[in-house]
Structure 1
């Protein structure tokens, strides 16, 4: 059965938003940098938040906000992943959860593997926890990117104590295969290391490679692993604070339960309400419609780049709404986003922030109308047109 793609809001409405995407730069600059989407909220989320405002329901988040039950049901329905409710906890956002788990499972000065190029806050989060970043870049092949398992093994053999995994991967959009994840779990188990998997882009997998939650891949993964995720990326409410932390088993649940009480209290009430509405079955049709729109746009971007920037290198992502594009052939320097913002009046994300592998790259957010995406690439293409 075909699904009607979700329609982005008109640009004049979007410019009334007060979030980072629409306020950071002047109005003559088209924003494609931060991971906010241009679509209307899922109706169930709008209804839940509207009712809360009407009731003046703006107090503290209750001890049992329904987050556990909503996530467990969603994981079963969308991922065929059976989650033990006793292993589920919550906090304000994914990076909060990551840093608190890292503090609990590592000691100051311990090394933590990150797989570059990677979401820039990974570097800061490891350091905030008192640990040290050890970079093991993704391996690149004709098929795309994958975990460098030999490199990770060498890092763990050399004393690294944890792996901070991005699954699906930001910025490349790679969905790590179940075989790769299982191998990672085996390596971590062999060296007594911990794997913390950021899976905020999991619901946005397009189906080319099936998304496998790390904790669902094997017994070894459950023995070594934690997952931190949120509905906020998929359903576009990053400003409402709520994330879910899942332990692989009883031992990990014990660690999560022992985190400072403030970790849970950082969860916002509106974040919890939005989370529960997003993870409810009523929002499944909206998600399917969103995925249809993103699928069209990730393919449209390939066509636009081929037409206007034929020397750009772009692999259609397996998941999400972020494109990792190598434009180094055009000589715009290590950080082309700066040059393109100045000359084309288009704001992409800065490639080098994701690691040295990001030099000459930009990250493009394509969760927008096709017309807006087309205008952005045409503006950039005009810089190199004969």
Structure 2
């Protein structure tokens, strides 16, 4: 059955938004840096939030907002992952969840594996929890990126106590294979280490690739792991503060239950309401339309780069709406986003913030109208021809 791609909102309407994407720069700049998308909310989310505003339902988040059951239902429908609702806890956002779990599983000064190039807050989160970043870069090839299992094993052998996994990976869009995830879990279990998997981009995986939640990869993954995720990236809800933390088993569940009470209280009521609505079957059709739009854009971007920036290197992601593009061939310095913003008035995310592996790279958000994406690449391409 064909799916009609979701249409982005008009630019003049988007510029009325007050979020970071539309307020950091002036109106002469096209914003492609932060991970916000340009679509109207899913109708079920709009309905729930509108009703809450009408009721003045703007108080404290209740002890059971329905998040655990909603997430478990979503996980079963989309991935065949059978989540016990009792293993699901909630907090304000994914990075809050990650740092609180880290505080439970490491001691100050312990090393934590991260896999650059990776979402910049991973580095800050490790430090906030009292840990020390242990870099084990992804292995890159013409076919994509993979976890360096030998590198992880070496880090754990030398004393690292935890692994931060990004699955699907930001910024590369890599969806790690079930075999790779199971192998990572085996390595972690052998050394008594914990794996915390950020899975916020999981719902945005493109067919025929299949997303495997870390905790569904193997028995050993359930014994060593936690997952932390949210509807916020898929449904553009970052300002509404809600994420879920999922325990792999009884020991992890006990640790999550022992978190300070304010970890749960950081969840916003609108965040909980909107996450429940996003995870409901009523939002599945909207998500299918969003994926159709994003799938078309990731392929359009490849065409635009080939036409206007033929020396750029880009592998369309398997998930998400973020493109990892190597512009180093153009000689625009270690951080090409600086020149692109100054001379083309297009704001891209700075590659070096993702690690030294991001030198010469930019990250481009293609969750927008195709014509806006075309204008941005044309502007950047003009720099290459000047």
- In structure 2, how many angstroms separate the alpha carbons of the residues matched to 1:179 and 1:209? 14
In the alignment, structure 1 residue 220 sits paired with structure 2 residue 220: yes
1:236 maps to what in 2?
236
Q: How do 1:343-382 residues align onto structure 2 when only pairs under 5 Å count?
A: 343-382=343-382
TM-score using structure 2 length: 1.00
2:281 maps to what in 1?
281
- In structure 2, how many angstroms separate the alpha carbons of the residues matched to 1:348 and 1:154? 35
TM-score using structure 1 length: 1.00
- In structure 1, how many angstroms separate the alpha carbons of the residues matched to 2:145 and 2:211? 15
- In structure 2, how many angstroms separate the alpha carbons of the residues matched to 1:240 and 1:15? 20
- In structure 2, how many angstroms separate the alpha carbons of the residues matched to 1:142 and 1:301? 18
- Look up the SS of the partner of 2:103 in the other structure: helix
- In structure 1, how many angstroms separate the alpha carbons of the residues matched to 2:121 and 2:70? 27
1:47 maps to what in 2?
47
Deviation, 1:384, is: 1.4
- In structure 2, how many angstroms separate the alpha carbons of the residues matched to 1:19 and 1:363? 19
2:112 maps to what in 1?
112
What does the per-residue CA deviation read over 1:282-322, in whole Å, with 9 as the maximum and x for residues that have no partner?
00000000000000000000000000000000001000000
- In structure 2, how many angstroms separate the alpha carbons of the residues matched to 1:208 and 1:303? 20
Deviation, 1:143, is: 1.0
- Structure 1: gaps spanning 5 or more residues: none
2:171 maps to what in 1?
171
**Are the equivalent residues in 2 in contact too, given 1:165–1:196 (CA < 8 A)?**
yes
- In structure 2, how many angstroms separate the alpha carbons of the residues matched to 1:381 and 1:246? 44
In the alignment, structure 1 residue 306 sits paired with structure 2 residue 285: no
Deviation, 1:81, is: 0.2
- In structure 2, how many angstroms separate the alpha carbons of the residues matched to 1:207 and 1:139? 23
In the alignment, structure 1 residue 193 sits paired with structure 2 residue 175: no
- In structure 2, how many angstroms separate the alpha carbons of the residues matched to 1:302 and 1:132? 37
**Are the equivalent residues in 2 in contact too, given 1:91–1:263 (CA < 8 A)?**
yes
What does the per-residue CA deviation read over 1:60-93, in whole Å, with 9 as the maximum and x for residues that have no partner?
0000100001000000001100001111100000
What is the alpha-carbon root mean square deviation over aligned residues?
0.5
- In structure 2, how many angstroms separate the alpha carbons of the residues matched to 1:190 and 1:207? 34
**Are the equivalent residues in 2 in contact too, given 1:208–1:318 (CA < 8 A)?**
no
1:130 maps to what in 2?
130
Deviation, 1:326, is: 0.1
**Are the equivalent residues in 2 in contact too, given 1:44–1:283 (CA < 8 A)?**
yes
- In structure 2, how many angstroms separate the alpha carbons of the residues matched to 1:31 and 1:142? 29
1:31 maps to what in 2?
31
Runs (4+) off by over 4 Å: none
- Look up the SS of the partner of 1:299 in the other structure: helix
1:80 maps to what in 2?
80
- In structure 1, how many angstroms separate the alpha carbons of the residues matched to 2:375 and 2:50? 34
2:102 maps to what in 1?
102
**Are the equivalent residues in 2 in contact too, given 1:112–1:160 (CA < 8 A)?**
yes
- Look up the SS of the partner of 1:383 in the other structure: helix
What does the per-residue CA deviation read over 1:15-62, in whole Å, with 9 as the maximum and x for residues that have no partner?
000000000001000000000000000000000000000000000000
- In structure 1, how many angstroms separate the alpha carbons of the residues matched to 2:37 and 2:263? 27
In the alignment, structure 1 residue 266 sits paired with structure 2 residue 266: yes
- In structure 2, how many angstroms separate the alpha carbons of the residues matched to 1:41 and 1:384? 37
